[in-house]
Amino acid sequence: MSTRPADGQPASAQHSTVARTDDLPLVPVPVDARGAQLAERDGLRRLAAAFPLWARDFLSTSWQHLLEPALPRLPEHLHHGTRTPIVLLPGVYQTWVPLSPIAEALNRRGHPIYWFPDLGHNLLPLPESADIVQRGIARERLPEVYLVGHSKGGILGKYLLSHASTALPGVQLRGMTAFSAPFHGSRYSRYMLSPWLRGFQPGRPPISDLDDDTAVNALIISVYGVFDPQIPEGSWLPGARANIPLPVYGHMRILRDTQAVAIAAHLTSQVLGDGHRIGGCANQDPRIQGDVE
């Protein structure tokens, strides 16, 4: 694979361990005129322009929170499967329910699905949340796992990958597929009243610590929309196993976007395929111009 960086932007790592992606439906996704306009605005003007998209994004999943029990149980059928177990890591204020489309898609491919209710609505600091995941994996006696996270769940997943040798001794952590993860934080977090959301400020721990740890990026597939009203910094990850920008507007809607779910399930299942692991991936961010060979 080769990429030609644009505007001095360093190309992503060109060698990572991943099943071949030659036959995957991955094509560069252009940012349309509306997205480009939004990307050029900043401050309150950008927030105002993004508000209709944000509202539609919020409403697309808020009904789930109203209908679901406080801590809904995973359906029994999701526990069945013979391939690598999948552990779900939802975002702040979420349970596994918003991740149900990708969970169902991966379960149909033979992966048993796990979510640990002790995570609650993912409001704990990363070390405490990681400890809950560690205990859950040990309780289920899972020799290997693959993580699927959304938003803060993606940050928790990278934390687990970064601390795998101590947090998950004896467990093979195969990697993670993350949706709309604020790997570089969000400038809007400083305005949040919630201490859990203020923890996503760029350049400050824990975001800065994880941002500096690029060694595990090659284990991560990052899936995100071309415009995310909650993460102006974006979810592009240098050196990732794959960066997958899709024509989706919103932070939550991508979880129910059929193309996003299909591509994420296909890539994840291929990465966890039977044995053959070779270099080559598609890192397709709007900031990188080039061909995948």
Under a CB-based contact definition with an 8 Å cutoff, are residues 194 and 206 in contact?
A: no
Q: What is the pTM of this model?
A: 0.73
Give me the chain's average pLDDT, please.
74
Model confidence at 164: pLDDT above 90: no
Average pLDDT estimate for 71-76: 84
Residue 25: pLDDT band with limits 50, 70, 90: very low
Under a CB-based contact definition with an 8 Å cutoff, are residues 292 and 9 in contact?
A: no
The pLDDT score that the predictor gives to residue 130 is: 92
Average pLDDT estimate for 176-180: 95
Average pLDDT estimate for 80-105: 93
Model confidence at 97: pLDDT above 70: yes
CA distance 113 to 101: 12
Using only the alpha carbons of the chain, give its radius of gyration.
18
Residue 250: pLDDT band with limits 50, 70, 90: confident
CA distance 148 to 94: 14
Between residues 282 and 249, which one has the greater pLDDT?
249
Preceding amide of 229 cis, omega within 30: no
By CB atoms closer than 10 A (0-12, 13-18, 19+), residue 84 is: buried
CA distance 171 to 174: 9
Ordered by where they begin, the domains of the chain are: 31-274 (3.40.50.1820)
Share of the chain above pLDDT 90, in %: 38
Between residues 219 and 31, which one has the greater pLDDT?
219
By CB atoms closer than 10 A (0-12, 13-18, 19+), residue 217 is: buried
CA distance 125 to 67: 27
Model confidence at 278: pLDDT above 50: no
Which of 161, 263, 150, 289 lies closest to 218 in space, CA to CA? 161
Which of 61, 71, 75, 49 lies closest to 151 in space, CA to CA? 61
The pLDDT score that the predictor gives to residue 60 is: 63
CA distance 203 to 227: 22
CA distance 193 to 53: 22
Residue 122: pLDDT band with limits 50, 70, 90: confident
E strands along the chain, which residues?
4-5, 86-89, 113-114, 144-150, 172-179, 220-227, 242-249, 288-289
* 215-246 confidence digits (pLDDT tens): 999 999 999 988 777 777 778 899 999 999 99
Between residues 110 and 212, which one has the greater pLDDT?
110
Average pLDDT estimate for 189-205: 64
Residue 148: pLDDT band with limits 50, 70, 90: very high
Backbone torsion region of residue 265, taken as left when φ is above 0, otherwise alpha when ψ lies between -120 and 50, otherwise beta: alpha
The pLDDT score that the predictor gives to residue 211 is: 82
Model confidence at 106: pLDDT above 80: yes
Residue 109: pLDDT band with limits 50, 70, 90: very high
Of 14-18, 112-116, 246-250, 285-289, the range with the highest mean pLDDT is 112-116
The pLDDT score that the predictor gives to residue 174 is: 95
